[in-house]
Chains A and B, each alone.
Chain A
Amino acid sequence: MQYTYEIVKVDEASRCMEIVYSADGHQTMHVSARLPFVGETLETIVDMHSPVPLWIELAKSVQVPAVGVQGSISSASAPEDVAVAQQVMTIPVNEVQV
Chain B
Amino acid sequence: MNSIGYNVFGWNFYKSSVEAGEKFCLEVRRESSPAKLTAQTIYTKGRITGHKVGDPSFVAAERIAGFGNDLLPNPVPALTMLMTAQEYSEWWCVSLPTNTSLPAVEYIRLTPNESMSISNGDLIFICDGTASFSGSVVNGPTAVRVTNASELVAVNAPVYGMRLDRENIS
Q: What residues make up the interface of A, taking CB atoms closer than 8 Å to B?
A: 11, 13-16, 27, 29, 32, 34, 54, 75, 78, 81-82, 85-86, 89-98
Q: Please state if A93 and B13 are interface contacts (CB–CB under 8 Å).
A: yes
Stretch at the interface among B57-65, B68-76, B106-114, B146-154: B146-154
A93-B142 CB under 8 A given contacts A13-B53, A85-B5, A85-B6: yes
One of A27, A29, A78, A90 near B12 (C-beta < 8 A): A90
Q: Please state if B144 and A98 are interface contacts (CB–CB under 8 Å).
A: yes
Q: Which of B5, B27, B144 has the most CB of A within 10 A?
A: B5
Give chain B nearest CB distance to A65 CB in angstroms. 9
Q: Which residues, 53 to 105 on B, are CB-close (under 8 Å) to A?
A: 53-54, 80, 82, 97-98
Q: How many residues of B contact A (CB 8 A)?
A: 33
A95-B136 CB under 8 A given contacts A14-B80, A14-B82, A90-B7: no
Q: Please state if B23 and A78 are interface contacts (CB–CB under 8 Å).
A: no
Give chain B nearest CB distance to A85 CB in angstroms. 4
Q: Does B166 contact A (CB under 8 A)?
A: no
| 6 intermolecular pairs with C-beta atoms under 8 Å apart | A14-B25, A85-B4, A94-B143, A95-B143, A98-B144, A98-B148
Q: Please state if A14 and B6 are interface contacts (CB–CB under 8 Å).
A: no
Q: What residues make up the interface of B, taking CB atoms closer than 8 Å to A?
A: 4-9, 12-13, 23-25, 27, 53-54, 80, 82, 97-98, 125, 133-134, 136, 138-139, 141-149
Q: Please state if A90 and B6 are interface contacts (CB–CB under 8 Å).
A: yes
Contacts of B98 in A (CB 8 A): 54
Contacts of B146 in A (CB 8 A): 97-98
Contacts of A91 in B (CB 8 A): 4-7
Name which residue of chain B comes closest to A18, CB basis.
Answer: B27
How far is A85 from B53 in the complex, measured between Cα atoms in Å?
A: 33
One of A16, A29, A98 near B147 (C-beta < 8 A): A98
Q: Please state if A98 and B136 are interface contacts (CB–CB under 8 Å).
A: yes
How far is A83 from B149 in the complex, measured between Cα atoms in Å?
A: 32
Q: Please state if A15 and B7 are interface contacts (CB–CB under 8 Å).
A: no
One of B8, B23, B25 near A93 (C-beta < 8 A): B8
A32-B7 CB under 8 A given contacts A54-B98, A96-B143: no
Q: Please state if B12 and A97 are interface contacts (CB–CB under 8 Å).
A: no
Q: Please state if A90 and B5 are interface contacts (CB–CB under 8 Å).
A: yes
A34-B5 CB under 8 A given contacts A75-B142, A93-B13: no
Give chain B nearest CB distance to A84 CB in angstroms. 9
